[in-house]
Chains A and B, each alone.
Chain A
């Protein structure tokens, strides 16, 4: 079964540093997303991406965040200057055009720890 792949699985960074979280969506999917989950809390929407541009973003997705699809396979989330409160699990997701069940798939996540 096709999977959304995320790397690294765990990243530790110092406050103020830039981090890039990487995702490889399922190959025939057209819609890409980033979500985050602070430990013990709910999953929160960050941003959706379609046709090489951001289609929606939440209040969390401020100027410190950016997304990019640098080539035909990768989808990245960059945090320019990390804060302690950015520590969370970050999930990438992708979905297909039809949106049928199981078309929306989460990756296994990157645990970001800011120290």
Chain B
């Protein structure tokens, strides 16, 4: 089955700097790659996603890149702010009949943005 590796497990940056989190996946059939932000004690919230027919997607300060050949995808956060501090999870799945299928998550990256 699918296996998703995520690194680093912790990341500390200064406010205003960029943060990059990287994930690799094992199943070449996976075609949907969302990123979730989870604040302490709360549900994961989708922040951006990308499908395998796209190499890059951007939404304001957040961007995701996908390299299908290498089977890795990355989250880029620019101009980080203290409120970006949270645990970020990548995930992969095979979409079928419109469903996201089962999401296989990475182990998470705890991002700390220091003011």
Report the Cα distance A43→B108, complex, angstroms: 9
Report the Cα distance A44→B89, complex, angstroms: 11
A48 and B102 within 8 A (CB) = yes
Report the Cα distance A41→B6, complex, angstroms: 13
Residues of B within 8 A of A18 (CB): none
State whether the Cβ of B61 lies closer than 8 Å to any Cβ in chain A.
Answer: no
Name the one of A33, A106, A109 contacting B102, with C-beta atoms under 8 angstroms: A33
Tell me which of A67-75, A78-86, A89-97 binds B.
Answer: A89-97
Report the Cα distance A58→B97, complex, angstroms: 20
Contact A99 B44, CB 8 Å, known A42-B106, A42-B108, A43-B105: no
B105 and A44 within 8 A (CB) = yes
Q: Within A20-69, which residues are at the interface with B (CB < 8 Å)? A: 30-31, 33, 35, 41-45, 48, 50, 55-56, 58
Name the one of A41, A96, A107 contacting B98, with C-beta atoms under 8 angstroms: A96
Number of interface residues of A (CB under 8 A): 28
A98 and B98 within 8 A (CB) = yes
B101 and A108 within 8 A (CB) = no
Name the one of A44, A55, A56, A102 contacting B46, with C-beta atoms under 8 angstroms: A102
A99 and B43 within 8 A (CB) = no
Name the one of B49, B99, B108 contacting A48, with C-beta atoms under 8 angstroms: B99
CB distance from A58 to the nearest CB of B (A): 7
Report the Cα distance A55→B26, complex, angstroms: 22
B105 and A97 within 8 A (CB) = no
Most buried by A among B42, B43, B49: B43
A101 and B44 within 8 A (CB) = no
Kindly list 4 other residue pairs between chains A and B, CB separation below 8 angstroms, not including A30-B99, A101-B46.
A43-B105, A97-B97, A99-B98, A109-B43
Residues of A within 8 A of B (CB): 30-31, 33, 35, 41-45, 48, 50, 55-56, 58, 91, 95-99, 101-104, 106-109
Can you list 5 A-B pairs, Cβ within 8 angstroms, ordered by A?
A41-B108, A42-B89, A42-B107, A95-B100, A107-B43
